[in-house]
Amino acid sequence: MAGILGFYTSKGLVKIVNIRKVARKISPDTAARLKVLFPGMPLDSVTIIYNAWLPAHIFNKAIEGMTFHNTIYVTRYHIQHNYAGFILLIHELVHIKQIRESGEIAFACNYGMQLLSYGGYSSKMPLENEAYAFVAHIPFDPLYYRIRHLQHQVSSADPDWEMTAMAHFLDQGIYLGLQSSNDFNIKSYIDKIRDFPDTIHPVDYPAALLHCIKHASNERKKD
Ligand SMILES: [Zn+2]
């Protein structure tokens, strides 16, 4: 019970202290990019509160983001056009997906119980582990991708070159089937998963990418 109380106390607190902070919607560019990773999610209903204050003491460590219902609170300013920020946004969207799937009350109960049983915030809490695993298993290496596909368009001097590479991958690269890391080629991946011909159309690269992320995440859970 303390867990769920903690969740709702945090939620109330976070809402009140951040009431004057800038709230923004996910931009159409970002939404188009994220559609590959979160098909069917109504991204236009998501609100992002920038430069938010978050109750870090509840989680025993500095946290960068927190999600309640459809609202993502982040301590950063840039999350749609900066690589680390974008990765954080993807992490928080996994929580929105979890909340949409289980309902907010069940999510709050589970999250609260996991906080208690892990003695505070931990990336090992199953709900957190799922979000971290999703991000970690996106088969994309910005350095590899820039050198291989964008050498003449993007300079490493550009402070946001990693985001530019990621954006290029999600906007075009995935549809073209471009190799996205040293060891990931979507075409050979599809060849390898030929035993699921009904679930993945031979040229549906975005679906195959999602399959790869989920499959790799599930494998990690089993370890
Ligand atoms: Zn999280």
- pLDDT tens column, 89-104: 999 999 999 999 999 8
Please tell me the predicted confidence (pLDDT) of residue 1. 47
CA 65/CA 16 separation, integer angstroms: 16
- Alpha carbon of 16 to ligand 1 centroid (Å): 21
- Alpha carbon of 198 to ligand 1 centroid (Å): 33
| pLDDT band (50, 70, 90) for residue 136 | very high
- Alpha carbon of 181 to ligand 1 centroid (Å): 25
> Do 209 and 146 lie in a common domain?
yes
> Do 67 and 97 lie in a common domain?
yes
Over residues 171-199, the pLDDT tens digits come to: 999 999 999 999 999 988 988 876 555 66
Q: Of 69, 87, 120, at which residue does a domain stop? A: 120
CA distances in angstroms from 79 to 5, 49, 178, listed in the order given: 29, 11, 25
| Four-CA torsion 87, 93, 98, 99, nearest 10 degrees | 140
Hey, is 101 helix, strand or coil?
A: helix
Q: Of 68, 86, 120, at which residue does a domain stop? A: 120
Please tell me the predicted confidence (pLDDT) of residue 34. 96
- 125's CB contacts (< 8 A; 6+ apart) are 111, 114, 115, 118
Q: Look up the domain containing 40 and give its range.
A: 2-120
> Do 170 and 95 lie in a common domain?
no
CA 205/CA 173 separation, integer angstroms: 10
Mean pLDDT (the chain, rounded): 86
- 39's CB contacts (< 8 A; 6+ apart) are 206, 210
Hey, is 155 helix, strand or coil?
A: coil
- Could you tell me if residue 64 is inside a domain? yes
Please tell me the total count of domains within the chain: 2
**DSSP β-ladder status, 47-49 and 71-74:** parallel
- Alpha carbon of 124 to ligand 1 centroid (Å): 10
- Alpha carbon of 57 to ligand 1 centroid (Å): 15
Please tell me the predicted confidence (pLDDT) of residue 116. 87
Residue 58 CB coordination number (10 Å): 17
- Alpha carbon of 89 to ligand 1 centroid (Å): 10
Provide mean pLDDT across the span 133-146: 96
Provide mean pLDDT across the span 98-127: 90
- Could you tell me if residue 125 is inside a domain? no
- Alpha carbon of 99 to ligand 1 centroid (Å): 12
Over residues 19-58, the pLDDT tens digits come to: 777 788 999 999 999 999 999 999 999 999 888 877 765 5
- Alpha carbon of 95 to ligand 1 centroid (Å): 7
- 126's CB contacts (< 8 A; 6+ apart) are 110, 114
pLDDT at 221 over 50: yes
pLDDT at 3 over 70: no
> Do 113 and 147 lie in a common domain?
no
- Alpha carbon of 122 to ligand 1 centroid (Å): 9
Residue 94 CB coordination number (10 Å): 21
- Alpha carbon of 159 to ligand 1 centroid (Å): 26
- Alpha carbon of 33 to ligand 1 centroid (Å): 21
